[in-house]
Every structure is written in structure tokens, then in C-alpha cells.
Amino acid sequence: MDNQPDWHDPRFRTHLYDLDAPGLAQELLRQNPSYITGYRSLVHKLGNLRSLRLRYEMAEQFARYWGLSCTG
């Protein structure tokens, strides 16, 4: 996630046309500063946890918040 694409680069625009709907949604989400900050914070927190259950719960909560999870 550290590498942000240049939206004005024709190669990146071509890449967007090759994406399916979920892939395009993910790419657009990666441009949201709040998502980027939250993702980096989550990665940092997960790196400090040993409990797999807590890691899973935190990742699932993040995914649900951003609409990346289809679980109930």
C-alpha cells in the first residue's frame, strides 16, 4: 500500500479497465486517505498481537467497516 499509483499515467488508466467491479472498488478505496491511515494502523496493531483470534477479529472488524466483508 505504500506505492500510490499516478492516476494520470496512461498505463494505470489502462489497468483500471482490466479490473472487475470488486477490483475497481478496492483500487478506489486505496485512494481514500482515511482508509490508508486505518490500514496502516491495523497492520501495526496486528504486528504486535500474538493471539490469532484477536488478529482475526480486528481484521474482520476493519473489513466490515470498509465494506470488504460479506459476513453477517
Q: Nearest-CA neighbor of 2 among 52, 37, 28?
A: 37
Predicted local distance difference test score (pLDDT) of residue 4: 64
Over the range 42-56, which residues count as b (16 or more CB within 10 Å of their CB) and which as e? beeeeeeeeeeeebe
Residue count (the chain): 72
Predicted local distance difference test score (pLDDT) of residue 1: 55
> What does pTM read for this prediction?
0.71
Q: How confident is the model at residue 2 (pLDDT cuts 50, 70, 90)?
A: low
